[in-house]
Amino acid sequence: MVRSLERREELGGDHKGSLLWASNFSIGVNLFFRVNRLLAGLMDQRPDYRVHIDEIHHIHKLDAPSGTAITF
Is the pTM higher than 0.75? The answer reads no
User: Is 15 labeled as catalytic in the residue annotation?
Assistant: no
Q: How many domains does the chain have?
A: 1
Exposure b/e, 33-62, CB count within 10 A at least 16 = b:
beeeeeeeeeeeeeeeeeeeeeeeeeeeee
User: Is 60 labeled as catalytic in the residue annotation?
Assistant: no
Residue 28 lies in a domain: yes
Range of the domain at 54: 24-71
Residue 55 lies in a domain: yes
Residue 6 lies in a domain: no
Among residues 16, 57, 58, 60, which one is catalytic? Answer: 57
How does pLDDT run across 1-17, given as a tens digit for each residue? 445 666 666 666 666 67
How does pLDDT run across 4-55, given as a tens digit for each residue? 666 666 666 666 677 677 778 889 988 988 998 899 899 999 999 988 777 7
Among residues 15, 16, 58, 61, which one is catalytic? Answer: 61
